[in-house]
Amino acid sequence: AATPAPEITEVQEWNQFLGDGVAARPYGMPSQFEKHVVRRDVEWLTASRESSVNFTPLHDLDGIITPNGLCFERHHGGIAEIPPEKHRLMINGLVDRELVFTMDDLKRFPRVNRIFFLECAANSGMEWRGAQLNGCQFTHGMVHCVQYTGVLLKTVLEECGVKTNAKWLMPEGADASGMNRSVPLEKALDDCMLAFSMNGEALRPEQGYPLRLVVPGWEGNMWVKWLRRIEVGDQPWHTREETSKYTDLLENGKSRRFTWVMDAKSVVTNPSPQAPLRFKGPNVLSGLAWSGRGAIKRVDVTLDGGKNWVTADIQGPVLPKSLTRFYVNFEWDGKPLLIQSRAIDDTGYVQPTKNELRAARGTNSIYHNNGIQTWHVRENGEVENVEVS
Ligand code: MTE
Ligand code: CO
């Protein structure tokens, strides 16, 4: 700037006085100037806050790791507060030894650290019939990605000795909802975890403290929190959460059953309705891509509603079943934009358009909407949620 900036030439308050000492903040919080970076809910979505959801502020975050205090919450019976010494995990049913584990017991098994995204099957569910919610926090914020520490479920199942006719597991939560789902044994033995830490510290109460099931790449509903029991059986249980809920109602009245995997998906987080464009000239477009089938191989981005596409710059680790961060550096001339991103995973799967999804599955469903999102940037930089045909 031509005139001297007072921020440089004048002594500022924080320059003259001592700040807080080391004892002032035993558990640190973000800067007071970041108070707007919070989980938010949509009041009309559910009748009760105890059986509801809030959303990760994706437009305020960067990189691939979600800070613990900003991971969206979805619970059907409120947050259970369980003293760890009172928590037990029972494994019963088709096993040689039915066992009950304390948290201390579980922490004596060999440990693993793994980064995974968790996405609720209902993420983007309100968008099935058309553009509705204004902000990627609300359209795509039922996703988070953290590093879990825990033991492989396989390790603990081996301790119990799974019988040869066992094929299914039913994890069950200790919360008021008693959430339970049927999980195929094959998946459990492949990569499921019993997690007690996220991002290096104990699980947050909201995320299932002291123990949660991690089911990499599969719908969030199966990741039972406050995990207290796993029954081993030879067939699925068809619980409420896999019959009247979490099945996808098709146009012909039939439902898709056991749609566990979260297919490849992506969203531009900046710009987006809560993060308008503020400058002409150089800008950084940023976004997230993920796939429950593996790693993200490529992300394409268009600024003109799909006429021209560029390959986004993927920055940071590209891990299977994890969020992946991408950027596109572009010049904005102040003209309207139609921004979309399209993820491609390492199985070759290409994220579909919303109309392709509707052609295949109709408009009755709310689950598994991984269609391409469109943001319309106006000349004043404001952004709105739209669809292009
Ligand atoms: N586990 C229990 N015990 N109770 C619940 O209500 N909600 C499920 C799942 N596990 C739930 C649960 C749903 S629908 C989702 S999407 C994820 O937890 C959400 O995990 P999060 O709250 O850590 O984001
Ligand atoms: Co869910």
Given a contact cutoff of 8 angstroms between Cβ atoms, the answer to whether 329 and 122 are in contact is: no
Within 6 A (CB) of ligand 1 lie 71-76, 118, 120, 144, 173, 175, 177, 179, 206-207, 220-221, 223-226
Q: How far is CA 277 from CA 54, 137, 139, 286, in A?
A: 25, 17, 19, 12
Please report the pLDDT score of residue 50 as a whole number.
Answer: 83
pLDDT tens, residue by residue, 268-295: 999 999 999 999 999 999 999 999 999 9
Category of 281 on φ-ψ map: left (φ > 0), alpha (ψ -120 to 50) or beta: left
Task: Report the Cα 17 to chain-centroid distance in Å.
Answer: 42
Query: What mean pLDDT is predicted for residues 133-143?
Result: 97
pLDDT at residue 103 greater than cutoff 90: yes
What is the CA(260)–ligand 1 centre distance, in A?
A: 14
- Predicted ipTM of the assembly: 0.99
Mean pLDDT lowest among 3-7, 80-84, 119-123, 304-308: 3-7
Mutate to test the pocket of ligand 1, among 116, 143, 175, 225 (most ligand atoms within 8 A of CB): 225
List the beta bridge partners of residue 298: 344
Q: How far is CA 198 from CA 71, 207, 254, in A?
A: 11, 9, 38
Give the Cβ contact number of residue 257 at 10 Å: 12
pLDDT at residue 1 greater than cutoff 80: no
Please report the pLDDT score of residue 3 as a whole number.
Answer: 83
Mean pLDDT lowest among 8-17, 181-190, 202-211: 8-17
Task: Report the Cα 372 to chain-centroid distance in Å.
Answer: 17
Please report the pLDDT score of residue 78 as a whole number.
Answer: 96
CATH architecture of 265-386: Sandwich (2.60)
Query: What mean pLDDT is predicted for residues 4-32?
Result: 94
Task: Report the Cα 362 to chain-centroid distance in Å.
Answer: 25
What is the CA(179)–ligand 1 centre distance, in A?
A: 8
Query: What mean pLDDT is predicted for residues 193-206?
Result: 98
The residue whose CA is least distant from atom 6 of ligand 1 is 75
Taking the domains of the chain in order of start, what are their residue ranges? 74-246, 265-386
Query: Closest by alpha carbon to 118, among 247, 218, 239?
Result: 218
Query: Closest by alpha carbon to 235, among 187, 193, 183, 189?
Result: 183
Sign of CA dihedral 138, 139, 143, 145: negative
The rounded percent of the chain whose pLDDT value lies above 90 is 96
Fold category of 74-246 in CATH: Sulfite Oxidase; Chain A, domain 2 (3.90.420)
Please report the pLDDT score of residue 118 as a whole number.
Answer: 98
Given a contact cutoff of 8 angstroms between Cβ atoms, the answer to whether 301 and 333 are in contact is: no
Please report the pLDDT score of residue 2 as a whole number.
Answer: 65
Mean pLDDT over the full length of the chain: 96
The secondary structure of residue 218, as a DSSP letter, is B
pLDDT tens, residue by residue, 314-372: 999 999 999 999 999 999 999 999 999 999 999 999 999 999 999 999 999 899 999 99
pLDDT tens, residue by residue, 39-79: 999 988 888 888 899 999 999 999 999 999 999 999 999 99
